[in-house]
Amino acid sequence: MEMVCLMGSRMDRNGKRYLVLTEKFPPRKGGSNTTFEEVYRRIGGKDTHIVANSQPGASAFDRTSPNTVHRLDLERRPWLKPESLGIYVKLFLKALALRLEHPFDEIHCGRVLSEGFVGWLVSVLTRTPLVIYAHGEEITTWRTPVKYRFMRFTYRRADAVIANSRFTADLLAAMGVPEGKIHVILPGVDLDLFRPCEDKDLVRSSLGIAPETKLIFSVGRLTRRKGFHQVVRALPHLVGKGLQVRYVVAGIGPDREYLLDIARECGVADRVRLLGAVTDDELVRWYQAADVFAMPNYDVDNDTEGFGKVYVEASACKTPSVAGRTGGTGDAVLDGVTGLRVDGSSVSAVAEALQRLLSDPGLCSQLAEQGYRRAVTEFSWDAAAVKIAGILGGWDRR
């Protein structure tokens, strides 16, 4: 098993031609969506073809892409058995047609199902090397016997599997994926976008944050495992300690009303603000303005956090994090070095960590500086792309 935390400068194209199958791709927001766009814009040109899901705004986005993007309607149909059958058929036919038309060097798949299984079929028929990405949560949540067998079968037949954390790599090893096929490549961040501000007070003022206010910020899909509701429940404790605190959350998801209900129940509705979807520039300003970034994740019904790129984005903006202890967050947040890791299922643990950081500016500043240095030296997209491009270099097809 190989693990790399990478640094480097912008790379030139490496000359390889990729067929990339991924339902997750911009303009939709999210860590995995960003990963595929950032990597293949660096290592591929127009002769790299990406097959992705149709979505609003896709046409405008695709016109600016350095790659050739193909869009398919990859939606599940309740009247089909299984509901995803149409996705497999559409992906397979499109991928096979593209591979027969173009001399791709490798097939890369954004997930094991459905993309990875389809990629394996095409790789066998056309004798093309296969690389599959693993994110962690799909392994822990897709636990039905049939899905698990399909995942295990597909991962083990790939030429290489890219794991987003050591946690994910351990899950793959437990499934019987040979250690030599597993490559841990931590997701990168856009260090040109996510960066410290020159005047924090000015940014805070532009967002309506008073100088005496302690700002906690979160971003992510509004779901239970992110632990945002635990931060809301921790607010009364912080207020009771005399802290003038506000909590701002960016993102959309099914827990929006749930978070608002908890805020009302805890008597802190006036201290909680849900932004909904935000632009990249808005996101950066909130990271920069915050005293602490918080996503105290914990496992809910086997749903876990595979890595947590948002913690590194916060570090790149010189903001320390409070993270949970489950999943792969230990690769994103170094406990006591770039932030604090706690039991996200415990409101008292979350509250104590937040109080510790918000009450100790010296500690907050130390973790922020250390996190920033680590983000700059270890989380370059350029270097991650170089590593991904070289994974299969020199391998014999077996």
Q: How many domains does the chain have?
A: 2
Q: What percent of the chain has pLDDT over 70?
A: 94
Distance between CA 33 and CA 194 in Å, rounded? 17
> Rounded to an integer, what distance in angstroms lies between the CA atom of residue 329 and that of residue 333?
6
Q: Are 244 and 355 in a shared domain? A: yes
397 lies in some domain? no
User: Model confidence over 322-334: pLDDT tens digits?
Assistant: 999 999 999 999 9
Q: Which amino acid is at 117?
A: F
Tell whether 395 is covered by a domain.
Answer: no
Residues 244 and 107 occupy one common structural domain = no
Q: Is residue 28 situated within a structural domain?
A: yes
Task: Report, as an integer, the average pLDDT of 224-248.
Answer: 97
Domain range for 264 is 200-378
On whether the CB atoms of residues 38 and 187 are closer than 8 A, the answer is no
Tell me how far apart the alpha carbons of residues 18 and 99 are, in angstroms, rounded to a whole number: 10
- Look at 233 and 384; give whichever has higher pLDDT: 233
User: Is 266 domain-assigned?
Assistant: yes
Q: Across residues 280-305, what is the average pLDDT?
A: 94
- pLDDT at position 306, please? 87
Domain of 9, CATH number, reads 3.40.50.2000
The model's pTM: 0.83
122-170 residue pLDDT tens: 999 999 999 999 998 899 888 788 899 999 999 999 999 999 999 999 9
Using the predicted structure, report yes or no on whether residue 286 has a pLDDT greater than 60: yes
- What band does 384 get if pLDDT is binned at 50, 70 and 90? confident
Amino acid 397: pLDDT? 37
Residue 230 has a pLDDT of 98
CA 340 – CA 323 distance, rounded (Å):
6
Asked whether residue 79 falls in the same domain as residue 100, the answer is yes
Q: Give residue-wise pLDDT tens across range 199-222.
A: 999 999 999 999 999 999 999 999
Over the stretch 89-111, which tens digit does the pLDDT of each residue have? 999 999 999 999 999 999 999 99
The torsion angles phi and psi of 348, rounded to 5 degrees, stand at -65, -40
Pairing of strands 106-109, 130-134: parallel
My answer on whether 133 and 240 are in the same domain is no
The residue assigned the tokens 């149409």 is 86
Residues 178, 221: one domain?
no
Shared domain check, 172 and 121: yes
Average per-residue pLDDT in the chain? 91
Mean of pLDDT values over 301-307: 86
Residues 80 and 118: their CA atoms lie apart, in Å, by 18
pLDDT at 196 over 80: yes
In this structure, the answer to whether residues 151 and 13 fall within a common structural domain is: yes
Q: Is residue 168, in this structure, part of any structural domain at all?
A: yes
Q: Are residues 139 and 219 in the same domain?
A: no
- Examine the pLDDT at 257 and tell me if it is beyond 60: yes
Tell me what pLDDT residue 14 has.
Answer: 63
Say whether both 264 and 161 belong to one domain. Answer: no
Q: Which helix (H) or strand (E) holds 30?
A: none
Residue pLDDT, tens place only, 174-186: 999 999 999 999 9
Residue 195 within a domain: no
Asked if residue 326 is part of any domain, the answer here is yes
**pLDDT at position 61, please?**
94
Q: Which pLDDT score is estimated for 387? A: 87
251 with 351, same domain: the answer is yes
**CA dist., res. 191 & res. 66, Å (int):** 20
Residue 314 maps to a domain: yes
Q: Does 277 lie in the same domain as 231? A: yes
Contact 339, 358 (CB under 8 A): no
Read off the pLDDT band of 83 (50, 70, 90): confident
Q: Do residues 73 and 15 both lie within one domain?
A: yes
CA pair distance 112, 109, nearest whole angstrom: 7
Q: How far, in Å, are 16, 21, 26, 78, 129 from residue 113 at the CA level?
A: 24, 11, 19, 18, 17
Alpha helix segments (H runs only) across the chain: 31-43, 58-63, 85-101, 117-126, 137-141, 145-157, 166-174, 200-206, 228-240, 256-265, 280-289, 309-316, 329-332, 347-358, 361-378, 381-390
